[in-house]
C-alpha cells in the first residue's frame, strides 16, 4: 500500500514564526503536491513538484515556499506565519508510471493553527 | 472557466437509507472524474474513477455514474452505514494542462 505521511497531525505556531511542514511518501512517486483545505472553499493547490528539485506554483502560492531535495520528501515552508494561514494542510503524491489516470494518494493532513 | 460544482453542500440521512450526491462540471477538455471520500480529520481516499467512455462504475455500495454529454456525475450510496459519514469530493482532471479541479464537497451525516 502507498503510504504518505506528514510530520505532524496538529501544530500551533505564533504569528511571524517560520513553519516547516514535512511530507514523506514511500512509493517512489515522481509527483508531489501541497494543498490547503478550508471550510466552504475545498482543496486549493499551493505548490506541486514534478520531480526532485522541481517545483511549480499552484493556485495560492503567496506566503509559501517548498523544497524537494529528495524524491520521497516534499516540504512546505511558511516563511512568516500569519493567522490567515490557519488551515488543514494536505500532502499528496502520484506516480507517472503507467496510466495518466493515476490516483493522487493523500496524507492524513496537518491542522495548523497560527495565533 | 473550469469549475466543479457539488450538491447538496450537506446531507443528513438515516442509517439504511439510500442517497445520491451530484457533481456538475464545466472542465474542458475532460480527462477523467474521481470521487473521493474524506473521513473527518483524514486525507481523501479514492472511491472510483470515471473516464469519458464509462457510464457507470460500482465499488461495493457506492455506484458512480457519468453523463459526458451533460457533464454531470452522481455518486449513489446504497443501504447507508454510520461509517459512510464523511465528506465526498468530486475531482475532475482536464483543462489545457491536465490540472485537477476540486469540488467543495458534500458532507454526509448518517444517523442511527
β-strand pairing of B19-25 with B30-38: unpaired
Q: How far apart are CA A70 and CA B46, in angstroms?
A: 26
Query: Which cell is A86 given?
Result: 490557519
The contacts of residue B84 (CB under 8 Å, 6+ apart) are B61, B77, B108, B110
The pLDDT assigned to A60 comes to 96
Q: Are A25 and A105 in contact (CB under 8 A)?
A: yes
Across A52-67, average pLDDT: 95
Q: Pick from A91, A90, A92, A62: which is nearest to A78 by CA?
A: A62
Is a pLDDT exceeding 90 seen at residue B28? Answer: no
Contact across the interface for A4 and B43, Cβ inside 8 Å: yes
Q: CA triplet A109, A60, A107: central angle to 5 degrees? A: 15
Least Cα separation, residue A81 to chain B (angstroms): 22
Chain A positions touching B93 (Cβ under 8 A) are: 101
Chain A positions touching B102 (Cβ under 8 A) are: 42-44
With bands split at pLDDT 50, 70 and 90, how would you rate the model's confidence at A100? low
Across A8-23, average pLDDT: 96
Chain A positions touching B47 (Cβ under 8 A) are: none
**A18-46, pLDDT tens digit by residue?**
999 999 999 899 999 999 999 889 899 99
Q: Which of B34, B43, B105 has the CB atom closest to A109's CB atom?
A: B43
How distant is the alpha carbon of residue B112 from its chain centre? 23
Least Cα separation, residue B11 to chain A (angstroms): 15
Q: How far apart are CA A34 and CA A23, in angstroms?
A: 9
C-alpha pair distances (Å), B26 with each of A21, B5, B72, B75: 33, 9, 9, 18
Query: Which cell is A36 given?
Result: 490547503
Size of interface A-B (CB pairs under 8 A): 40
Phi and psi at residue B82, to the nearest 5°:
-55, -30
Contact across the interface for B41 and A109, Cβ inside 8 Å: yes
**B59-83, pLDDT tens digit by residue?**
999 999 999 999 999 999 999 999 9
Query: Which cell is A76 given?
Result: 512546505
The pLDDT assigned to B1 comes to 80
Query: Which cell is A14 given?
Result: 505564533
The pLDDT assigned to A10 comes to 95
Q: What share of chain B has pLDDT > 70, as a percent?
A: 98
Mean pLDDT of all residues belonging to chain A: 93
Contact across the interface for B31 and A101, Cβ inside 8 Å: yes
Amino acid at each position: 500500500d502507498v503510504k504518505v505521511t506528514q510530520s505532524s497531525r496538529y501544530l500551533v505556531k505564533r504569528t511571524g514564526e517560520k513553519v516547516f511542514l514535512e511530507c514523506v511518501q514511500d512509493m517512489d512517486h515522481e509527483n508531489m503536491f501541497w494543498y490547503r483545505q478550508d471550510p466552504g472553499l475545498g482543496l486549493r493547490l499551493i505548490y506541486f513538484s514534478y520531480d526532485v528539485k522541481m517545483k511549480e506554483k499552484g493556485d495560492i502560492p503567496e506566503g509559501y515556499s517548498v523544497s524537494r531535495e529528495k524524491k520521497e520528501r516534499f516540504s512546505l515552508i511558511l516563511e512568516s506565519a500569519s493567522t490567515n494561514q490557519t488551515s488543514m494542510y494536505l500532502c499528496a503524491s502520484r506516480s507517472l508510471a503507467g496510466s495518466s489516470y493515476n490516483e493522487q494518494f493523500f496524507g492524513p493532513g496537518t491542522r495548523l493553527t497560527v495565533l | 472557466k473550469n469549475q466543479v460544482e457539488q450538491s447538496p453542500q450537506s446531507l443528513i440521512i438515516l442509517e439504511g437509507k439510500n442517497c445520491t450526491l451530484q457533481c456538475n462540471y464545466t472542465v474542458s477538455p475532460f480527462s477523467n472524474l474521481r470521487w473521493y471520500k474524506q473521513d473527518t480529520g483524514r486525507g481523501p481516499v479514492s472511491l472510483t474513477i470515471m473516464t469519458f467512455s464509462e457510464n457507470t462504475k460500482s465499488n461495493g455500495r457506492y455506484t458512480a455514474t457519468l453523463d459526458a454529454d451533460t457533464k454531470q456525475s452522481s455518486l449513489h450510496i446504497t443501504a447507508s452505514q454510520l461509517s459512510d459519514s464523511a465528506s465526498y469530493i468530486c475531482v475532475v482532471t482536464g483543462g489545457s494542462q491536465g490540472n485537477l479541479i476540486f469540488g467543495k464537497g458534500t458532507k454526509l451525516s448518517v444517523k442511527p
